[in-house]
Amino acid sequence: MLIAPREAYAQTLVELGTENKDIVVLDADVAKASMTVLFQEKFPDRFFDLGISESDLICTGAGFAVAGKLPFVNAYANFLLGNGWEQIRLSICYANKNVKIIGHNIGASSGKDGPTHFSLEDIALMRVLPRMTVVEPADGLEMKKAVRAIAEHVGPVYLRVGREATPVVTQAEDEFELGKANIVRQGRDLTIVACGVMVAKAVAAAEELTAAGIEAEIINMHTIKPLDRDTLLQSVQKTGAVVTAEEHSVIGGLGSAVAEFLACSRPVPLRIIGSPDKFGICGTYEQIHQAFGLTAERIAQAAKEVLEQKKP
């Protein structure tokens, strides 16, 4: 089954809009792409299109929060966080305002729109900010739970929302708690830590590895910050080797967060799978993932590399 994360996000937002009258939704002229238009149709009074002005959007959201509202501010991740970063730092994080920042078209999900519209640096930009919670659900099903969880959480949150339909790998009955990673698959030989669409690719890689007699444990690290260190450490103490996978630059994202922690707590062989330190190209979503090496094959190959490295 395939679900577009943005569709799951917008549908859940509409559900929440009925339940919580304090929710307001702000967008920057991308309401059709972000699908917040669904909220607009249902609750026109609580929807505000501020036009193409992301800095203004962020601070207007902060103003709503001052007045006790629960704002969800939406735009393409790259433009929202790039234009609005200092605003997020000061008026949301330093001021400690309860604003939900929703980055759309994350990773390479803008596809043929190309590198100007990709967002491969956004985790790094948000993860460095004190008080910020950073979330990227594994699939559309988990997105629905995540949207509810961030609405409940009091404090700044950044949520990554992809555009393309992606495989559903989580189960309806799986629990979702911010900051508490889910173990998708148990294994003894190495730990694969993934977020977003890369969780599905990790599952595919693990199946490939099983055929080679390698049992990978997969952690769905849906909350990149705060990182669930306990779950990670427990797994790594068992396996002694790690591969991380994310639809984000190899610099500053999930892989960096894992490496920062493990380098200090339990150094083990590690590979970081993500987009390389260069700009992308135009292409279909799948073509770009191939070009960046965001594939099950690359994860499996990295798994074999760390296993080789951990041999005594």
Partner 1 sequence: MLKDKEELLHQARLTANKMRKNILLMTHRAKGGHPGGCLSATDLLAVLYKCFMRIDPQKPNWPGRDYFFLSKGHSVPALYAILIEMGFLSEGEVEDFREMEGRLPAYPSCEDTPGIDMASGSLGQGLSVANGAALAAKLNGTDQRAYVLLGDGELHEGQIWEAAMTAAHYKLNNVCAIVDYNKLQLDGSVEEVKSLGDLKAKWESFNWHVLEIDGHDYEQIYQAFVEAEQYRKGPSVLIAHTVKGKGVSFMEGEAGWHCAAPTDEELTKALKELSRVC
Q: How many residues bind partner 1 (CB under 8 A)?
A: 31
Query: 54-66 and 77-87 helices cross at what angle (nearest 10)?
Result: 60
Q: How many CB atoms lie within 10 A of CB 17?
A: 20
Q: How many CB atoms lie within 10 A of CB 25?
A: 29
Q: How many CB atoms lie within 10 A of CB 298?
A: 19
Q: Report, in Å, the least distance between residue 151 CB and partner 1.
A: 17
Report the Cα 178 to chain-centroid distance in Å: 12
Query: What is the C-alpha separation between 102 and 158, in angstroms, rounded?
Result: 6
**Cβ distance to partner 1 smaller for residue 60 or 170:** 60
**Cβ distance to partner 1 smaller for residue 83 or 295:** 83
**Cβ distance to partner 1 smaller for residue 66 or 212:** 66
Among 58, 157, 169, 236, binds partner 1 (CB under 8 A): 58
Q: Report, in Å, the least distance between residue 276 CB and partner 1.
A: 33
Q: Say which residue the tokens 């135009």 belong to.
A: 282
Window 78 to 107, contacts with partner 1 (CB under 8 A)? 86-87, 89-91, 94-96
Among 1, 19, 44, 68, binds partner 1 (CB under 8 A): 68
Handedness of CA 111, 113, 117, 121 (dihedral sign): positive
Q: Report, in Å, the least distance between residue 74 CB and partner 1.
A: 15
Stretch that binds partner 1, among 54-62, 101-109, 219-227, 277-285 (CB under 8 A): 54-62
Site for partner 1 contains 42 (CB under 8 A): no
- Containing 209, the helix (H) or strand (E) segment is helix 198-211
Query: What is the C-alpha separation between 196 and 224, in angstroms, rounded?
Result: 10
**Cβ distance to partner 1 smaller for residue 58 or 192:** 58
Site for partner 1 contains 277 (CB under 8 A): no
Q: If 0-12 CB within 10 Å is exposed, 13-18 middle and 19+ buried, where does residue 212 land?
A: exposed
SS3 call for 145: helix
Stretch that binds partner 1, among 56-64, 117-125, 236-244, 273-281 (CB under 8 A): 56-64
Stretch that binds partner 1, among 55-63, 101-109, 180-188, 255-263 (CB under 8 A): 55-63
* Token pair recorded at residue 300: 């499996």
> Would you tell me which residues interact with partner 1 (CB under 8 A)?
24, 45-46, 48, 50-51, 53, 55-69, 71, 86-87, 89-91, 94-96
